[in-house]
Each structure stands twice: as structure tokens, then as C-alpha cells.
Structure 1
Amino acid sequence: MRTSAPTSWTARVGRFSFRVYCALVLLFLAAPVVIVVPLAFSSADFLRFPPPSYSLRWFNNFFSRRDWMEAAANSFKIGFLTAGLATVLGTAAAYGLVRGRSRRKEALYAFFISPMIVPNIVFALALYYLFSRLRMVGNMWSLVLGHTVLALPPVIIVLSASLQSVDYALEQAAMIHGARRLRAFFEVTLPLILPGMVTAALFAFLVSFDDLLIALFLSGSRAVTLPKRMWDGVRLEIDPTVAAVALLVMLLPTVILVMTALLRKRAMGRGGEKATP
């Protein structure tokens, strides 16, 4: 009984400290949103917190200015191209890693996900050196290729998990009945991993859409992306248009994550229906 009181007191202190720590972490994570949201709706002519009053003028400024719209269009165009290219290449790589019989699968897997380990600044410098030699700096395709390399690791991880959940016996049965391997993949495996492919494409799009470092080195003046334009706005302008754009950019990943969750739920529902006799 004598030792229970100190132990109980220590446990209470530990729980209280943990709650304080969690609250501080949440406050730190929420601070940018708490600041950006009021600034986005500010009526002031420059960045001022707290805003004197609220207005939608900076959203209207964003949608009415050609430079912002061109940057947004470039980001969406590059993002869609990156998502398509990374998904096609990632599907082929994941299929080879999961279905292949090579003894070096682990080494190949580590190679494919290595861009996640290399610091982005080092990767951006290497790309700048390469594409400057090829005279592709300022070309949209240099950004697409660079973003594709960055997007491949999450795409391969997602699609490898999707392929591992598909019974290979289904594909073998199709080949036994005369279908070639490629036809068996397209008619049997592909429909089953389609939700995973959509999820991987969404992640690839986000990787491209949110990138700043590669855009700083490769965009030049002809392929300015939205993050690059926001960077220029922070450095050269003082009006809250950047805050309005930042709020819109923060909403995009939220929408994509909700879409991903709905796709996973739908895929799991279909799996449950098929498993039910």
C-alpha cells in the first residue's frame, strides 16, 4: 500500500505531461492553418494579422490574374502527365517485383524507392545539371520527368500492396485456358488492382502538384508552376493573394484523401460481396 501512492502520482503526472505534449504538437501543426485562413479572407491591401475585416477580393484577384491562372494550369497539366506516366511505369515495376522470380527483387525494390531517401535539393541539383546539358530547362517535360521519378516510390509501394492482395492463381487459370500473359493481366489482374492504380495516380499527382524545389531549378520562365508562383509572390509581393492560393492548395490534398478513402471503401465492399457465397 505504501508504494501505490507514489506510483499513482507518477502515472497521473505522466498522463498529464503526455496530454500537454500532444496539445502542443497539435497546436504547432494547426498554427499555419489558423494564420492562413484569416489572411486569405483579409480585406487589407497587404499581409496583416489579424485582418481588419474580411473579404473575398484576393480570391477574385487570383482567378482574374493571368499569371496565377497560367501557373495553376501548368501545375494541373504537369500533375496529370506525371500521374499517368508514374502509374504506367509503377504498375510495370510493381508487377515485375511481385510476380517476378528474380533473386534480386529486394535490391530492385530498394533501387526503385531510393528517391525517397535522396534529399530533394540534391535530386533537384542533379536534374538541373542533366537538363541544362540537354537544353531542357524551362521545358514542361523536364518537370514531368523529374516529378515522375519522385512519384514512382509511393506508386510502386501502393501497387505492390494491391498486387499482393490479388491471387496469382486467377491469372494462372486464365493462361491455362489459352490466354497469353499480357491478356491475362489486362482482363484478370488489371480490373482487380484498378482501385489501387487510381489511389497511386492520386498520390503521384499530389507529389507533382506540391513540389517546389524541382520547379525552382527547372521551370525557368516558360513553365512556372503554382508553388513556384507562390514562392515568387512571397518574395516579391505583400498582398494576401498568396494566402488565398495557399488555402486553395491546402484544400486539394484533403479532397484527394477523401476520394482515396472512398475508393478504398468501395473496393473493400466489392471484395466482401465477391467473398460472400
Structure 2
Amino acid sequence: MTGLGKSSFNALRLAFGALVVAFLVIPLAAILPLAFTDSVFLTYPMTGPSTRWFDTLATSEAWQRSIVNSMIVGTGATVLSTVVGTLAALGLRRNLVPFSGVLRSIFLLPMVVPAVVLGVGMQILYARLGLASSYAGVIIAHAVLCVPFVLVNVSGSLASIDPALERAAASLGASPGTVFRAVTFPLALPGILTGAAFAFATSLDEVVITLFVAGPNQTTLARQMFSSLRENISPAIAAAAFLIILITLILALAVKGAAILALLGKRKQVLPAEE
């Protein structure tokens, strides 16, 4: 490829990337400013700035309960899916388990199966198990959706680990548990944290399955937003969306910071050894 052709290709690629980013960001840029309007309608132009709708989230019993429920369900689903997804990634690593490809596909099914189908199936199952309209049921349902994200991220981190490092630790007399704790886990930690962040964000945003398995006492923030859209479209919905996006960004920054700190810690351990 000539220099002119390469420059044209790079310009085309940059333009395409900009269009994709604009396609994703413009809807958010259109709705989020309305979280700070003093009007009672989601309309432009804004009559003036106000934080009244954030006050509504903080003072309304329904919104307060939904926020607390989202934190409870999101935390529980994140912990459960992170443990299950990490163990699954370790078990399916390097295709040592028979039919590992089939098992991996089964773990990834919740990403492709329609949420309505999962919701109906879980509702029928929960009715027989006595988990309907319970926090445990909602947490398990959300964890099922979150496991694929953890599995993909942790599998990517494990694939980047040089097997020679683990073999070297084992050759020095380290037990399998020690190899995992001292070598595998620290190297896979960025992927685990990223998967956990994706899991929490997925749980925070999930509404369809929640409609099927949650009761009135387990109303999450996303379900409350859905109910408000059906009853009365108000800027409180934009304020709730702003809150969800803010929490997601904080999680992403926290994961990035933790990954950087882990990398710096490993470098500090390597440098004295080299000296």
C-alpha cells in the first residue's frame, strides 16, 4: 500500500470511528442535561437549571428503595458471578476439560438468549423452588446474566499469562494452591476486576428479567425507571440515568486504577530481583 493509500485508509478509519462514537454518545448528550432542568417535562429548551430531580431521588421513598435494592442486588450478583465466572474460566483454560468448547458455549448462552425467554423460564423455576419475589432469586437471576462477562474477561487475562511462569513456580516446589495465589491470581486480577465491573453495570441496568422474578420489595432502579416511563415521564428518569452512568464511570475508573496499581506493584517486585 502506497503512502497516499495508507493515509486515506487511516483517515477513513478515523472518520468511521468518530461516527460510531457519535452514534453512541449523542443520545446520552441529548437526554442527560434534562436531569438538571427545573421543568416538569422532558423538553427542550430548558427553562433553567435545577437539582430538584436529584432531590426527588433522595427524598422519594420509591426511588430510595429502588436505589438501595439495586446496590444490594448488584453487589450480590457481582460477587456470585465473579466467583462462578472466574472458576469457570480456570476450569476451561487451555481446553483441558472434555467438551470445553461446548461448556464455554453454555456459559455464554445468557448473552444471546432473549431476556424474555430467560425471564419466563426463571419465573417458572422460581415458583417451584420458592425463590419467587425474593432477593436471593433476583441476585441469582442477575448473576446468570453477568457470568458470561466475567468469563470472557478472565479468560482473556488467563490467556495472556505465560505458562512458563506457573511451571517455574511449580518446579521450585510450590503447591498448586501457592502457584495460583502467588502467580496466576495476581496476573489475572485485572481481568477479574474488569469482569466484576461489567457484572455490576449489567445488574444495575437489567430490567426485563427483574420484571419476571422480582416482587414489589425488590424493585430496582432500572425497574423503577421503567415503571415511571409507563406512568409519568418526568426528568427524574433522566436524573436516575445520570446516576447509573456516573456509578458505571466510577467503577471503570476504579478498575483502571486498581490495574495500574497492580502493575506498579509487580514492577516494584521485579526491579529489586533484577538488581
TM-score (norm: length of structure 1): 0.83
State the partner residue of 1:59. 54
**Equivalent residue for 1:189?**
184
Given candidates 102, 110, 113, the residue that maps to 1:107 is 102
CA contact (8 A) 1:39 1:50 kept: no
Superposed CA deviations along residues 122-152 of structure 1, whole A, max 9, x for unmatched, are 1122111211232322111111111111111
1:38 is aligned to: 33
Aligned pairs for 1:164-183 (under 5 A) are: 164-176=159-171, 179-183=174-178
Alpha-carbon separation, structure 1, partners of 2:146 and 2:140: 10
**What is the CA-CA distance between 1:173 and the residue it aligns to?**
4.7
8 A Cα contact 2:77 2:140, kept in partner: yes
Aligned to 1:48: 43
Q: Which residue of 2 aligns with 1:247?
A: 242
Q: Does 1:82 align with 2:77?
A: yes
The equivalent residue for 2:67 is: 72
User: Partner of 1:142 in structure 2?
Assistant: 137
Shift of residue 168, structure 1, vs aligned partner: 3.6
Q: 1:100, 1:27 → 2: CA distance?
A: 40
Q: Post-superposition shift, 1:273? A: 5.5
The residue aligned with 1:3 is: none
CA displacement at 1:274 relative to structure 2: 5.7
Q: CA deviation at 1:185?
A: 2.1
Query: 2: CA distance between counterparts of 1:38 and 1:160?
Result: 38
Any conservation in 2 of the 1:35–1:49 contact (CA below 8 Å)?
no
1:127 corresponds to: 122
Contact 2:95–2:101, Cα closer than 8 Å, also in 1: no
Q: What do you get for the CA RMSD once the two structures are aligned?
A: 3.0
The answer for the alignment partner of 1:91 in structure 2 is 86
Asked if the contact 1:82/1:205 (under 8 Å) is kept, the reply is yes
- What is the CA-CA distance between 1:29 and the residue it aligns to? 2.9
1:145-164 matches, cutoff 5 A: 145-164=140-159
Which structure 2 segments of 5+ residues have no match?
A: none
Relative to structure 1, the CA distance from residue 189 to residue 23 in structure 2 (aligned partners, 3 Å threshold; closer, same or farther) is closer
Instruction: Mark the structure with the bigger radius of gyration.
Output: 1
Post-superposition offset of 1:69: 1.1
Secondary structure of 1:222's match? helix
How many residues align structurally? Answer: 266
Instruction: Measure, in 2, the Cα distance between the counterparts of 1:88 and 1:96.
Output: 12
Compute the displacement of 1:201 (Å).
Answer: 1.2
Mark the CA change 1:274 to 1:164 in structure 2 (over 3 Å): closer, same or farther: farther
Letter in 1 for 2:125: L
**TM-score using structure 2 length:** 0.84
